[in-house]
């Protein structure tokens, strides 16, 4: 369902050792956690934080972890903004933390929540429908035009945010925008030919922006990194994989700020990216950027 990216570089950067404790702040289906758990045997524990209850349910039903690894895995359905509290509740000193900020393949292919414009689904886009009341349906049907335009600009740097926002307002005046197919047709309406010929699909940024707004992703990332740095033991390591420029900018700036405060030492002066062979085997890794720092 989900192939973890930059796996070898993450293990090198985090350098997990026997009996250390780690947090995988974006557990998903445990792709990264598997190798970390092997490295921290025999007594090291890993807290897996996953915000999506459906992913946890699927992992428990289908996981391939052996019993020895499961005995050292603490799986928590929560947001990584509560990372410090979760570590304290489990009485663990944390030697390393991993954030993989990308959306999992499962969300696009199996969640039925409207993350992909390639499938006809309801406009939901919530990572945790049990706790988050805001949906993409609410944004496109009830937000003001300038609010929608701002979301498209700030979260996806959409060049045609004004045109797309106007199209959304006009369409919803006729009937509600209920599905991904409805929204896709609206986005594609009246777009310049040059825009439709670009390398990325014209709907990509709009769907990305709505998802990020629904889940308050950028602010969540800031809070999560702050929590992570505060939770780490001295000489503990924090590794963050981002998948677009806004995320990477936040990580870069926060790491630099923490380094100037004397709290972190940055290992990766430039982000680590995937080599040709990994991109060929896993196209998702093409946009991945990995940054690593040490708590001092």
Q: Above 80 in pLDDT, residue 247?
A: yes
pLDDT band at residue 101 under the 50/70/90 scheme: very high
The predicted model gives 260-281 an average pLDDT of 91
The predicted model gives 267-282 an average pLDDT of 88
Residue 190, pLDDT score: 81
User: Residues 160-197: pLDDT tens digits?
Assistant: 999 999 999 999 999 999 999 999 999 998 889 999 88
Distances (CA, A) of 261 to 257, 286, 296: 6, 32, 10
Return mean pLDDT, the chain: 95
Asked if omega into 279 is within 30° of 0 (cis), the reply is no
The residues near 236 (Cβ < 8 Å, ≥ 6 apart) are 94, 95, 96, 97, 294, 295
Instruction: Provide, rounded to the nearest whole percent, the portion of the chain with pLDDT above 90.
Output: 86
The predicted model gives 19-42 an average pLDDT of 96
User: Residues 230-239: pLDDT tens digits?
Assistant: 999 999 999 9
Q: Above 80 in pLDDT, residue 278?
A: no
- Environment class of residue 58 by beta-carbon count within 10 Å: exposed (0-12), middle (13-18) or buried (19+)? middle
User: Residues 43-94: pLDDT tens digits?
Assistant: 999 999 999 999 999 999 988 899 999 999 999 999 999 999 999 999 999 9
pLDDT band at residue 292 under the 50/70/90 scheme: very high
Instruction: Provide, rounded to the nearest whole percent, the portion of the chain with pLDDT above 70.
Output: 99
User: Residues 209-245: pLDDT tens digits?
Assistant: 999 999 999 999 999 999 999 999 999 999 999 998 9
Least confident of 33-47, 53-67, 118-132: 53-67
Q: Assign 51 to helix, strand or coil.
A: coil
Strand partners, 264: 295
Two tokens, residue 8: 């070898």
C-beta of residue 97 within 8 angstroms of C-beta of residue 238: yes
Residue 2, pLDDT score: 55
The residues near 234 (Cβ < 8 Å, ≥ 6 apart) are 295, 296
How far apart are alpha carbons 251 and 25 in whole angstroms?
Answer: 15
C-beta of residue 193 within 8 angstroms of C-beta of residue 160: no
C-beta of residue 278 within 8 angstroms of C-beta of residue 187: no
Q: Above 80 in pLDDT, residue 1?
A: no
Structural domains in the chain? Answer: 7-106+217-295 (3.40.50.150), 133-214 (1.10.150.170)
Apex 222 CA angle, 220 and 228, nearest 5: 100
- How many CA atoms lie less than 13 Å away from 120 in the CB half-sphere? 3
Q: Above 60 in pLDDT, residue 288?
A: yes
Question: What's the predicted TM-score (pTM) here?
Answer: 0.93
The predicted model gives 21-46 an average pLDDT of 96
């Amino acid at each position: 369902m989900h192939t973890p990216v930059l796996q070898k570089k993450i293990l090198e950067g985090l350098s997990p050792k026997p009996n250390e404790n780690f947090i995988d702040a974006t557990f998903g289906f445990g792709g990264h956690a598997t190798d970390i758990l092997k490295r921290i045997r025999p007594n090291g524990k890993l807290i897996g934080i996953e915000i999506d209850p459906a992913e946890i349910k699927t992992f428990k039903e289908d996981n391939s972890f052996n019993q020895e690894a499961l005995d050292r895995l603490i799986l928590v359905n929560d947001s990584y903004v509560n990372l410090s509290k979760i570590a304290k509740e489990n009485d663990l000193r944390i030697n390393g933390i991993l954030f993989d900020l990308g959306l999992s393949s499962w969300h696009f292919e199996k969640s039925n929540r409207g993350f992909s414009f390639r499938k006809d689904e309801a406009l939901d886009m919530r990572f945790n429908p049990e706790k988050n009341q805001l949906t993409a349906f609410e944004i496109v049907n009830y937000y003001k035009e300038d609010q929608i335009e701002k979301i498209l600009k700030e979260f996806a740097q959409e060049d045609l945010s004004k045109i797309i926002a106007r199209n959304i307002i006009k369409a919803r005046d006729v009937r509600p925008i209920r599905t991904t197919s409805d929204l896709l047709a609206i986005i594609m309406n009246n777009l310049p030919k040059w825009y439709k010929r670009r390398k990325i699909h014209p709907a990509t940024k709009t769907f990305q922006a709505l998802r990020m707004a629904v889940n308050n992703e950028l602010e969540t990332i800031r809070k999560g990194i702050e929590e992570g740095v505060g939770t780490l033991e001295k000489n503990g390591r924090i590794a963050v994989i981002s998948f677009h420029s806004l995320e990477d900018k936040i990580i870069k700036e926060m790491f630099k700020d923490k380094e100037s405060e004397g709290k972190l030492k940055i290992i990766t002066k430039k982000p680590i990216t995937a080599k040709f062979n990994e991109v060929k085997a896993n196209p998702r890794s093409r946009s991945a950027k990995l940054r690593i720092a040490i708590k001092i």
